[in-house]
A and B are shown apart, each in its own frame.
Chain A
């Protein structure tokens, strides 16, 4: 039986604007528009791009036991997850973590936002709303909690890039108030006009938004949640306001290459049905200060404790933009002696970076060399048996080529995601 392919409310817009479409997560989504994935990738670093991300799933969890259920099911300790001081989550704050099964294997990653006391919004990947909602419902037992899958009841647009705040300035009511103290991983407003929060963030035409300073590109920007009826109008307002900033629509190909360069994992590719440990994203686990245990109990914790051996996920960057193919058959990782030590999870080209001397620069690096015009570098993630150290050289091999890559702690330098809004408004 074929599963029905879904469309977002912007589907006709994408088709009428020449988008190259493909099915992703059960939705027919744009891969790139006529400007091309390379330009879309670069524009997010220099200006801004908008992405239709309405295929992402949204779950609302409410009730007096909502916090307790999330503490049980979500990897982050909501009592100790905000900022360097590990403050408790509170209304207006967001946190990134994961849902694991009893074996400590990934179900999906998620951003949890606390809307109000006892109300949480959870954004998971396309097609995963049902799975995560069922998982939480199973563990809810007799707790006083309601879990509602809102996937098709919310439209979502991401605006990402250094000009994002400047563009929103032109279409938000009272933008100074909205942007005041709007730090990375915080949000304001609500997409539901019945919410008391809905009045705090509105477009100039009165459309209520939930505006979140989060994203999936590594660059400065926002995720915008709206009622689906307002999705097309919001998209067009953004494009009109962004014209003088060279804002362009961007597809999933650019989103994928941007996220890999930003060291962000693709769920079910870089993190998946294997023990959620020994990877680049250990901050999503609630380790205590000395790293000997966890600060809370959660589904999957015992399995992670008891794992004696597990593979390691490491980031790499190549010496030019050539890639290996991670599809059938898999690409392998070879050590210096030519032994197979693991597989390649992701291999894409980040078109914004290049090597100069012994350093990697991005087109948005403030200290980039004069005339710097990178062709791009391949980058991604490998899963290997031995732990590899930063700076170590390995080879990636598929059925047509071998390429030399370096294991690294970071990939695309000088990302803008965490920069203050005030600084970005001066650009």
Chain B
């Protein structure tokens, strides 16, 4: 398991308490799970994502990831409508382990509340949260 200092935590995304990341890309926000989450889960063997057009509130469950032993929920870091899902994860769920911030992205969301973004953690705040065991 990686030490906090070994984690790949990019500056250009924000982080949720449940270890999802969010990156603004024009009108939409791209979402995935971060390096901490993939490291904790181990080999990810299945990903269940929502349908394009589904709408979720912040913190609502939008899918699941499965490792060999466990099933874990995915929670929306921001509320909004699903604009796109990364269908490559159906065939290659291991992308979440190998490239969680780029090829392993999960969903694109059209946000419905700007306050959701402000509530997410910066990299520094997230590191502090991890140090605190949150």
Contact = CB atoms under 8 A, between A and B. Distances in A.
Interface string A1-36: 000000000000000000111000000000110001
B102 interface: no
A349 B61 contact: no
A321 B66 contact: yes
A324 B64 CA distance: 11
Given A20-B42, A349-B45, A375-B45, A41 B68 contact: yes
Interface residues of A, number: 28
B50 to A, nearest CB: 13
Interface string A240-275: 000000000000011011000000000000000000
B96 to A, nearest CB: 12
Nearest to B68: A37
Interface in B57-106: 61, 64, 66-71, 73, 97
A37 B46 contact: no
A376 interface: yes
A348 B1 contact: no
A323 B43 contact: no
A351 interface: yes
Contact of B46 (A321, A398, A400): A321
A257 B70 contact: no
Interface in A370-427: 375-376, 398, 400-401
Contact of B66 (A21, A36, A257, A322): A322
Given A20-B1, A21-B1, A400-B61, A323 B42 contact: no
Contacts of A400: 61, 64, 71, 73
A257 B43 contact: no
A38 interface: yes
A325 interface: yes
Contacts of A376: 45, 68
A254 B69 CA distance: 9
A376 B46 CA distance: 10
B69 A253 contact: yes
A21 B42 CA distance: 11
B61 A37 contact: no
Contact of B69 (A19, A37, A324, A398): A37
Contacts of B1: 19-21
B73 A257 contact: no
A349 B68 contact: yes
Nearest to A257: B68
A39 B68 CA distance: 11
A253 B68 contact: yes
B65 to A, nearest CB: 11
Contacts of A323: 66, 70-71
Nearest to B70: A325
A36 B66 CA distance: 14
23 contacts: A19-B1, A20-B39, A31-B42, A36-B43, A37-B68, A39-B43, A253-B68, A257-B68, A257-B69, A321-B45, A321-B66, A322-B46, A322-B66, A323-B66, A325-B70, A348-B69, A349-B68, A375-B45, A376-B45, A376-B68, A400-B61, A400-B71, A400-B73
Given A37-B42, A376-B68, 17 more contacts: A20-B42, A21-B1, A31-B42, A37-B69, A253-B68, A254-B68, A257-B69, A321-B45, A321-B46, A322-B46, A322-B66, A324-B71, A325-B70, A325-B71, A349-B45, A349-B66, A349-B68
